[in-house]
């Protein structure tokens, strides 16, 4: 059975305010070890996706800090010690000092990240 950790995940993404270590598992899921070092509302980067929102579901656990997801039915904030499920149709708000572990369907996550990446490049 596959396993990974923050220190040996095969992909690392670093940018101002964000550090992520990702591993794609057979069976179609990606695990992400994420750390936020700056507050950021990422809504603008989801433009172009259906309803301008993330189309991947996420199952996660907040190790430290908090993370907020904005949805059509309102905002939901998860804090240290919370396990959570966020269905497709949301945008994230990151809070400095937060670390999470999150699992997402790889295909939907990659489709979302492709659009977010293009929008981030265009903004710089």
Residue 83 lies in a domain: yes
Beta bridge partners of 98: 36
4, 31 in Cβ contact below 8 A? yes
72, 119 in Cβ contact below 8 A? no
Q: Residue 43's domain spans which residues?
A: 11-123
Residue 74 lies in a domain: yes
pTM of this structure: 0.92
Asked whether the predicted pLDDT for residue 81 surpasses 90, the reply is yes
The pLDDT of residue 124 is 77
The pLDDT of residue 1 is 75
Please report where in the chains the tokens 């059975």 appear, as a residue.
Answer: 1
Domain count for the chain, please give it.
1
The pLDDT of residue 2 is 84
Residue 37 lies in a domain: yes
Computed over every residue of the chain, the mean pLDDT equals 95
Residue 97 lies in a domain: yes
Q: What is the CATH number of the domain that holds 82?
A: 2.60.120.10
Residue 6 lies in a domain: no
The pLDDT of residue 96 is 97
Q: How confident is the model at residue 16 (pLDDT cuts 50, 70, 90)?
A: confident
The pLDDT of residue 112 is 93
Residue 3 lies in a domain: no
């Amino acid at each position: 059975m596959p396993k990974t950790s923050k220190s040996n995940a095969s992909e690392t993404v670093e940018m101002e305010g964000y550090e992520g270590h990702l591993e794609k598992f057979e069976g179609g899921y990606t695990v992400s070890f994420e750390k936020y070092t700056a507050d950021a509302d990422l809504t603008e980067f989801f433009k172009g996706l259906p309803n301008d929102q993330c189309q991947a579901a996420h199952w996660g656990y907040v190790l430290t800090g908090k993370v907020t997801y904005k949805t059509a039915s309102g905002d939901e904030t998860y804090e240290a010690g919370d396990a959570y499920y966020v269905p497709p149709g949301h945008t994230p708000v990151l809070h400095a000092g937060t670390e999470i572990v999150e699992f997402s369907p790889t295909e939907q996550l990659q489709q979302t990240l492709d659009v977010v990446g293009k929008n981030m490049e265009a903004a710089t």
